[in-house]
Amino acid sequence: MTAKIIDGKEISAKMRGEIAKDVAKIKAEKGIIVGLAVILVGNDPASEIYVKNKEKAAHAIGMNSYLFRLAADISQEDLIAKIHELNRNPNIHGLLVQLPLPKKIDTKKIIHAIDPRKDVDGFNIINVGKLSVGDIEGVDGALIPCTPLGCMHLLKEVIGKNLVGMKVLVIGTSNIVGRPLSRLLLLEKATVTIANSATKDLKAECLQADVIISAAGVAGLIRGDMVKKDAIVIDVGINRIATADGKGRLVGDVDFDSVRNIAKAITPVPGGVGPMTISYLLKNTLNCCLKIIK
Ligand code: NAD
């Protein structure tokens, strides 16, 4: 039997419909339009595409989206001053700085300048710390990074609510995906293994796992012979590979064709985790607004 394809696009569309209703309700009841601000420094082509997609998605559900384009040679002080200005702006409820930043800028200092209450990426140290200690509920709970939230949502679509005791292998330890995702899984009482590029026998780790979530950024890293029968495979990776026509093609970390014959369920790339990441950015922005106007 071939694996169920977990359709991130469809799940995402449903979620955005719900968010749009809440955005409209806030507008009708309070006269407030939920606002997301994105700062883009320089013109990295991949960042341009990501930012455009975020803007489009925000507009589509009735949010205001403000894009601030800043020159690649902006000083760190001027960038921080801009962030402080947006932190104070009452029309902006969520704020993110598109990464990566030019090398001369200290990314940590920039992220930490964002008001933790508007930090929709969940990268500010206050939010990272809260997630670390499991402080994720209520008005003061952590804002959690969008991609891990999207992965958890997709996983629960297959497993249901209960992840207790499941063996989950997370591949990748970045602050954007692997680490926050592992913390979320631990909070659900999953048994979590975290692999990185120095992991000695990735195949052996994979074969133990009920769930594999790969965020390594390596095309073809996970093949069918590495996956336990009926495991669930969530593919976070986005890799561009060459094609004969010279246009290239996006693939994940997982060799989809060989894994789909073994796994119980699998996310495609594109159309799996990617759309969920944007949906959780919108959801985080909505939640920021609800907390701020409370
Ligand atoms: P990163 O480069 O910061 O981290 C990669 C991690 O993978 C590191 O911890 C590294 O040790 C590990 N790794 C690399 N090669 C490995 C190997 N052979 N075996 C085991 N571990 C290995 O990357 P990131 O920012 O976390 O992104 C990872 C991937 O996820 C990229 O392809 C990125 O484009 C994609 N991504 C997708 C979304 C989305 O919304 N779908 C969001 C964020 C990142």
Do 102 and 152 lie in one domain? The reply is no
Bond before 270 cis per omega within 30 degrees: yes
Residue 114 belongs to domain spanning: 30-121
Question: Among 170, 174, 273, 282, which is best to mutate for testing ligand 1, by the most ligand atoms less than 8 A from CB?
Answer: 174
| CA-proximal residue: ligand 1, atom 40 (nearest) | 274
State whether the beta carbon of 53 lies less than 6 angstroms from ligand 1: no
> Residues 103, 220: one domain?
no
Bridge partner residues of 250 (DSSP): 240
What pLDDT is stored for residue 52 in this prediction? 96
Same domain, yes or no, for 184 and 255? yes
* Residue 203's CATH number: 3.40.50.720
- Which CATH number characterizes residue 117's domain? 3.40.50.10860
User: Within this chain, do residues 94 and 175 fall inside the same structural domain, yes or no?
Assistant: no
Residue 77 lies inside a defined structural domain of this protein: yes
Token pair in block for residue 21: 């209703």
Please name the helix (run of DSSP H) or strand (run of DSSP E) that holds residue 40, with its range, or none: strand 35-41
Quick one: pLDDT at residue 161?
A: 82
Which amino acid residue places its CA nearest to atom 1 of ligand 1? 174
Active site residues: 54, 98, 121
Q: Do 114 and 151 belong together in one domain?
A: no
Residue 260 sits in the same domain as residue 164: yes
Contact 66, 35 (CB under 8 A): yes
Same domain, 99 and 156: no
Residue 114 placed within a domain: yes
Judge if 52 and 113 occupy the same domain: yes
Q: What is the pLDDT along the chain (294 residues), one digit of tens a residue?
A: 799 999 999 999 999 999 999 999 999 999 999 999 999 999 999 999 999 999 999 999 999 999 999 999 999 999 999 999 999 999 999 999 999 999 999 999 999 999 999 999 999 999 999 999 999 999 899 999 999 999 999 999 999 989 999 999 999 999 999 999 999 999 999 999 999 999 999 999 999 999 999 999 999 999 999 999 999 999 999 999 999 999 999 999 999 999 999 999 999 999 999 999 999 999 999 999 999 998
Q: Is the CB of 194 under 6 A from ligand 1?
A: no
**Ligand 1 in reach of 239 Cβ (< 6 A):** yes
Tell me whether residue 245 is in a domain.
yes
Same domain, 90 and 168: no
Count of domains in the chain? 2
For residue 176 and ligand 1, the question of a CB distance below 6 A is answered with yes
Q: What is the pTM of this model?
A: 0.97
In a domain, 279, yes or no: no
Q: Ligand 1: which atom is nearest the Cα of residue 269?
A: 41
